Amino acid sequence: MSEMNFNPSSAAVMDSGLFGLPFDENQSLIIIIPVPWELTVSYGKGTASGPEAIREASMQIDLYNHNYPELWKKGIWLDQFPDELSMLHIELRHQADAIIEAIEQGIDVETLPEFQQRYEQINAGTEKMQAWLFDRIRFWRSQNKVVGLLGGDHSIPLAFHRLLSAEQEHYGILMVDAHLDLRNSYEGFRFSHASIFYNALQMNTVEKLVQVSIRDYCHEEVQFIRSNTERIKVFFDRDLRNEQYEGKRWQQQVDEMLALLPEKVYVSIDIDGLDPTLCPNTGTPVPGGLQYEELMYLLNRLFAANKEIVGFDLCEVSPGADGQWDGNVGARVLFQLCGLASRSSR
């Protein structure tokens, strides 16, 4: 279907694409790669179902976006995750569950060969998935597409940072999250969702990491921050609120965040960075966090700052029993991220 034959005010039809759009991959500027992968989550599960929940919810979103009214014309297309990797994920999820259950029972898994073999299988399988994702992102970027990732847990964007490093792209990361994700590893998993930004910072092409809405972290992570003050700036949620209670405006705080970022920016959104009333089924909800319009304001100020968006991800959306509310919020955040990145076509 062509743009001329598409009515953006009509209801989405069943066989249409993401957000009910009629475009294929060749007609679309923005490519979203779904990665239904969550091996290392140990509290709430379900983020592997996030991409599908968001796809379904996207069909109910009206296409006249308040900030990007013509966004739909640029085309947004949802890629496919390979069946082979989906089957591998199911197999490895059983291995990860066995490790996590043993740790919770107080078993010293590091001393038992059985569990070391499980770790090796999980690491090898994750590397296989990351290699596929690396090549997939590289392919779409070679086609001058704007690429975003849709998780799954927050471990998945490592492939994007590896690619940007391989391309010698120097950039900063704007991250919204309830957690620092700066552990060297968590529960023995090298590719943990709790380690994504520790792993990303091993690449010298990441010039700055600006973390927003943080409210849950450990001693190890605080020490890591104190050892890397030139590259990491954390805006803890409690500090932001205390400043606001004493008269500081969100605009001032956002401008301070954006002033720290270089000209090229990667945006990483963990949905649990929002108030958990907006994402009650996410795996590790934490009281506090940004309101929806606070996040929209942050993203729109970033757009107004004329930064080049080199990539983005949205992770940790878990649909829960019915999937409608979390998927609805996730789809709207994704649409806004697409608008933000749409001007940065390569």
pLDDT tens-digit profile, the chain (346 residues): 455 689 999 988 877 899 999 999 999 999 999 999 998 776 668 899 999 999 999 999 999 999 999 999 999 999 999 999 999 999 998 888 888 888 888 888 878 888 888 888 888 999 999 999 999 999 999 999 999 999 999 999 999 999 999 999 999 999 999 999 999 876 767 778 788 999 999 999 999 999 999 999 999 999 999 999 999 999 999 999 999 999 999 999 999 999 999 999 999 999 999 999 999 999 889 999 999 999 999 999 999 999 999 999 999 999 988 768 999 999 999 999 999 999 775 4
- For residue 1, what pLDDT is reported? 44
- Which residues of the chain form beta strands (DSSP E)? 30-35, 76-78, 146-151, 171-176, 206-214, 232-236, 264-270, 308-315
Report strand pairing: 232-236 vs 171-176.
unpaired
Domain count, the chain: 1
Separation CA 199–CA 163 (nearest Å): 13
Separation CA 330–CA 6 (nearest Å): 25
Tokens linked to 104? 């919770």
- For residue 43, what pLDDT is reported? 67
Tokens linked to 63? 């296409």
Tokens linked to 212? 């927003």
Burial 56-93 (b: 16+ CB within 10 A, else e): ebbbebebebeebeebbebbbbbbebeeebeebbeebb
- For residue 242, what pLDDT is reported? 98
- Kindly give the interhelix angle for 50-58 and 324-342, rounded to the nearest 10 degrees: 80
Domain that holds residue 194: 3-342
* Nearby residues of 25 by Cβ (< 8 Å), 6 or more positions away: 31, 77, 79
- DSSP-assigned letter for residue 272: G
Q: Provide the CATH number for the domain around residue 101.
A: 3.40.800.10
Separation CA 155–CA 159 (nearest Å): 9
Q: What is the pTM of this model?
A: 0.95
Tokens linked to 344? 């940065």
* Nearby residues of 270 by Cβ (< 8 Å), 6 or more positions away: 154, 175, 176, 177, 178, 179, 181, 315, 316
Using alpha carbons only, give the angle 90, 95, 98 rounded to the nearest 5 degrees: 125
